[in-house]
Amino acid sequence: MSEPTPNAVKLLYFAWVREKIGRTEEICDLPQGIATIGELIAWLKTRGPGYEDAFQRPAVIRAAIDQVHVKPATAISGAREIAFFPPVTGG
């Protein structure tokens, strides 16, 4: 896998988000104008039926930037790795 370019970010998907999208991770070149997690979700949703299904209810989607939990309003600038997943159910 090649190193991400400065504008690129690694996206990871877990549990049913992963299953619906059909992939574990990908390197994405994000278009200009996407500043927050919420905006990134809205953009991902337009990328195909799997994405649309995975992100149809943003309220049940959780996100992490560089392995730290974040909110939908959190800015993504500088992120190397962004993960999307359902509410956690460990323990």
Query: Is 85 an interacting residue with respect to another protein (CB under 8 A)?
Result: yes
Q: For residues 57 and 72, what is the distance between their CA atoms, to the nearest angstrom?
A: 13
Query: Is 43 an interacting residue with respect to another protein (CB under 8 A)?
Result: no
Query: Is 33 an interacting residue with respect to another protein (CB under 8 A)?
Result: no
Residue among 8, 10, 12, 39 that touches another protein (CB under 8 A) = 12
Stretch that binds another protein, among 36-44, 46-54, 60-68, 70-78 (CB under 8 A): 60-68
Sheet of 62-65: strands edge to edge?
25-29, 8-13, 81-85, 62-65, 68-70
